[in-house]
Structure 1
Amino acid sequence: MNTMTDTAALAGASAAASTDQPAATNFRDELLAAGLLIDTGENGLYGRSQIFEDVLDRLNVAITHLGADQQPEVLRFPPAMRRTDFEDSEYLKSFPNLAGTIHSFCGNDMGHQRLLRALDDAMTERDDDRADAWMEQQKPTRVVLTPAACYPIYPVMARRGPLPADGRTIDVLSYCFRHEPSLDPGRMQMFRQREYVRLGSPAQVMAFRQMWIERGSLLVTLLQLPVEVDLANDPFFGRGGKIVADSQRAQALKFELLIPIADPRGKTACLSFNYHMDHFGAIWKIACDDGEVAHTGCVGFGMERITLALFRHHGLDVNAWPDDVRALLWGDTEARVAHGMQTLPATAPGAGESA
């Protein structure tokens, strides 16, 4: 799974809820005042300025060059997925509090009139106090909001039949949704994930993850941002969540690259390196060429979070950023990424056949 967390939230969620992280709010206010983020009136839901999007787009180009030698299959999906695939994924077992469903009006004329009456009543109240009785006329649709960019690809891969001998590598990018409203700009409800996903044998997937820990760290170093990779776990829900999280850490299934962004008391996960073992392979019956259940893994780039980290550490004026950072993003990106890659261990095009 690719559920990025941050260490501050995990270490002191209750305290953060009461104070709402004033340091994070200050950075948010600076971004809003500069026009880099646009306030929509809903915590964690922002518009983005042309400058913010330009930085994010150029960061995307650098990530493309970073993974070009893997010859990934490029797939793009809308920020919604089929509800039955979402149900099969078992996301609700682990993160029911983060999921977002899509509802629509499916009634008749009488139902429409009831909806309008309830809506009229709601609109007499202030925004924060409005009743939601009109939503009783809404029903779940056959689609839900995508929680992680990689989720739509697994049923697609399953329908293709067994994987080739060298497995598959997929490049995917999508807006994702997590229901965790916050004043911390690094914890958006709608955000973009860029992922490289590996499907194959355990050895192939483990080699892939190690390669991307090195490449992800390289990218952040080239951006002149602090690099710290640490063992992590997903924020599993409920009483049993701690047991699952402890197991995930014990098996070293998840690592995160952490960067201070909004709150100096903690660090935010900007990249996530995940080994799912055979979780998704077993659910969707994805097989390797030898008939064994496929293992999967992914590296996830939090596009907004890395962009925010750049503004946090280099300032809100992109013209004043360090020359080497500007040259990487607005110069010969391919050449600079290639030069950095020469410092890393050699990697086969298929991301390695053995760990």
Structure 2
Amino acid sequence: MNMPNEQAALAVAEESAHPQQPYTGSDPTLRSRLVEAGILIETGENGLYGRSEVFEDVVERLNKVITLLGADQQAEVLRFPPAMRRHDFEDSEYLKSFPNLAGSIHAFQGNDRGHHRLLEALDRTIAVGDEERSDEWMDQQKPTRLVLTPAACYPVYPLIARRGKLAEAGAIVDVFAYCFRHEPSIDPSRMQMFRMREYIRVGSPQQVMAFRQKWIERGSMLVRLLQLPFEIDLANDPFFGRGGKIVADSQREQQLKFELLVPVATPDKPTACLSFNYHMEHFGEIWKIKQADDQLAHTACVGFGMERTTLALFRHHGLDVAQWPAPVRALLWGDAAPMIAEGLASLGTPA
């Protein structure tokens, strides 16, 4: 499927992606420096961290700036917990593509006898101390009707479908949620529990393509204001298994996914801090989401990795937020509205 508009969007973003400061190489010590400074708190499990007040303050202020960036979208604001209905998750086909990343929720659902067996198994587990422990006690756990949410947009599509046919203008939804992906790593930008802020567009192919092009430009503008070096690149999702490469190649060929990449911690491999995704009619077909003319709806989304972008700020501006560049501090701790309005005006978007 040829998508010339995306070539134009990519060109615009790349032309404006000049770093505000020189990038001097990778920073494999970022994780240890953040932990030593108390900005991230180790839990003993790779990819699972506590966050300090300083870290959370940056996330909150970044989130407010993103709200300003999308204020003209007239999006419906929805907030979901980090779990979703298993029925919807099964329908989403996530397990077909990413079974290794999914997380299900189990709980004890037995009787007194089962509880006794659980406690006996737990005693044996704890008795080994700090050695590698068995998961014997989990034999008494059973799946619940919930799974951990893999992406902030996933609860939205079945909700939109249950409302019936779309209006002519389609729909735009603003979501923010904790997500889970089972990929333990010592790279702090690859957390197992992380937050995503997303704008989701549901409508005609023309509507969703225009939406994605707009957000490639806006996302690039935001990261320039944050004075982070970046590039926009064609990308693919990490599809699982032997057939995954075929699906990934198809995704690239159809230019369905672009990422905004910022050097964070991984040597020679910048991190995707924002993603711009066109799903075509994939979710429309799964949940029978219809446009006003009864055609299957297409969908697109822009996703902001909140932890990743925050980590990028610490990586490039230092661990003392009081010493960050004045324009960045003005954006995050000052009155960001005029700066965002000026940036949107430079893109040809009315303030």
User: Do they superpose with TM above 0.5?
Assistant: yes
Which of 209, 223, 237 aligns to 2:240? It is: 237
2:230–2:263 CA contact under 8 A, matched in 1: no
Instruction: Report what 2:70 is aligned to.
Output: 67
What is the CA–CA distance in structure 2 between the aligned matches of 1:185 and 1:224, rounded to whole Å?
Answer: 21
Aligned pairs for 1:1-355 within 5 A: 26-127=29-130, 129-346=132-349
> TM-score, normalising length from structure 2?
0.91
Alignment identity in percent?
Answer: 71
> Which residue identity is paired with 1:241?
G
1:24–1:185 CA contact under 8 A, matched in 2: no
SS at match of 2:293: coil
1:75–1:171 CA contact under 8 A, matched in 2: yes
Residues 24, 139 of structure 1: alpha-carbon distance in 2 compared, 3 angstrom cutoff: farther
What is the CA–CA distance in structure 1 between the aligned matches of 2:305 and 2:235, rounded to whole Å?
Answer: 16
Structure 1 residue 333 displacement after superposition: 1.0
> Which residue identity is paired with 1:323?
A
What is the CA–CA distance in structure 2 between the aligned matches of 1:103 and 1:61, rounded to whole Å?
Answer: 35
Structure 1 residue 263 displacement after superposition: 1.9
What is the CA–CA distance in structure 2 between the aligned matches of 1:263 and 1:284, rounded to whole Å?
Answer: 38
What is the CA–CA distance in structure 1 between the aligned matches of 2:205 and 2:191, rounded to whole Å?
Answer: 33
> Which residue identity is paired with 1:255?
F
> Which residue identity is paired with 1:266?
K
> Which residue identity is paired with 1:302?
G
1:44–1:181 CA contact under 8 A, matched in 2: yes
* Structure 1 range deviating more: 270-279 or 330-339: 330-339
1:25–1:183 CA contact under 8 A, matched in 2: no
Structure 1 residue 25 displacement after superposition: 5.2
2:28–2:267 CA contact under 8 A, matched in 1: no
What is the CA–CA distance in structure 2 between the aligned matches of 1:148 and 1:29, rounded to whole Å?
Answer: 28
What is the CA–CA distance in structure 2 between the aligned matches of 1:278 and 1:115, rounded to whole Å?
Answer: 46
What is the CA–CA distance in structure 1 between the aligned matches of 2:97 and 2:130, rounded to whole Å?
Answer: 32
1:205–1:295 CA contact under 8 A, matched in 2: yes
Structure 1 residue 128 displacement after superposition: 5.2
What is the CA–CA distance in structure 1 between the aligned matches of 2:80 and 2:31, rounded to whole Å?
Answer: 29
Residues 128, 100 of structure 1: alpha-carbon distance in 2 compared, 3 angstrom cutoff: farther
Q: How far does the alpha carbon of each residue in 1:231-274 deviate from its partner, in whole angstroms, 9 at most, with x for none? A: 00000000000000000000000000000001232100000000
> TM-score, normalising length from structure 1?
0.90
SS at match of 1:296: strand
Structure 2, gaps ≥5 residues long:
1-25
What is the CA–CA distance in structure 1 between the aligned matches of 2:192 and 2:283, rounded to whole Å?
Answer: 25
Give runs of ≥4 in structure 1 deviating > 3 Å.
Answer: none
1:231–1:255 CA contact under 8 A, matched in 2: yes
Q: How far does the alpha carbon of each residue in 1:129-185 deviate from its partner, in whole angstroms, 9 at most, with x for none? A: 011000000000000000000000111100110111010000000000000000000
